[in-house]
Structure 1
Amino acid sequence: MTGFVIHALPVLRGILAIAPMPGSGGEYAADLEHLKDWQPAMVVTMTTSAEMVAAGAGNLGQDVAFLGSRWAHVATPDYGVPDADAMHNWDRAEPIALSALRGGGRVLIHCKGGCGRSGMAALRLMIAAGDAPDAALARLRALRPGAVETSAQMRWARRGGAEATDAGGGIR
């Protein structure tokens, strides 16, 4: 049994989930197998590349693509929010994730521990999907207490709804 727990809730016609980074508990292969069984349409990584390498998940993007899922890397420091480069990737990923959810697909967002950064991104998607911000936060925190850890993350999440005009690059 790994520490890779997927916390999922319905959004639109699909399932949105947050989780810790595969491998963060030392069981990358088992976590990846669990992810494969969950069958996400898309995985959004909110960790930095250094965090991924340290957890043995340096090839996560390739491994997710091999599972048949799309992958977006929105590199964000722990307790932080996306910088301009990461926002470029978020702006491309968000409409793809929303489309997957509208179509009944599954979207998994992870950070290192599956709480702050992943909660921030999940809340932003929930708001972009039409959920009222306070109700969305209450629903998310009922599932994963402590989701969205800082006031900066809360401000970023509540700006939800940004639409991208280009769905290329940064996504696999």
Structure 2
Amino acid sequence: GQVCLSLKLELQRGNSIVLHCKGGIGRSGTVAAMLLIEYGEENSVAIQHVRQKRQGTIENQLQEDFVLNFIIK
């Protein structure tokens, strides 16, 4: 939602962003996938893409379901 829009705006301004949570894979991967969806990727493809870049990311079913059901408003 709003976090992804803010991150997208920073990227559009040419700024770099860093995503990190305590473990660096669960919540960070979830937000990274949501950001890819903001840029037009299909939800399941976004999960696959993030997992290809960082193995084990989006670490539980709750996070995966959240990304699969994420809708851009």
In percent, how many aligned pairs have the same letter? 29
Among 132, 144, 147, the residue aligned to 2:42? 132
Identify the structure with the greater helix proportion.
2
Bigger relative contact order, structure 1 or 2 (CA pairs below 8 A, ≥6 apart):
2
Among 113, 127, 131, the residue aligned to 2:23? 113
For structure 1, the 5+ residue unaligned runs are 1-90, 163-172
| Aligned equivalents of 1:137, 1:93: Cα separation in 2 | 18
Write the deviation string for residues 22-60 of structure 1: whole angstroms up to 9, x where unpaired.
xxxxxxxxxxxxxxxxxxxxxxxxxxxxxxxxxxxxxxx
1:157 aligned residue? 67
The alignment's TM-score, normalised by the length of structure 2, stands at 0.79
Contact 2:4/2:34, CA 8 A, preserved across alignment: no
Q: Does 1:148 align with 2:47?
A: no
Larger radius of gyration: 1
The alignment's TM-score, normalised by the length of structure 1, stands at 0.38
For these two proteins, the number of residue pairs brought into alignment is 72
Identify the structure with the greater strand proportion.
1
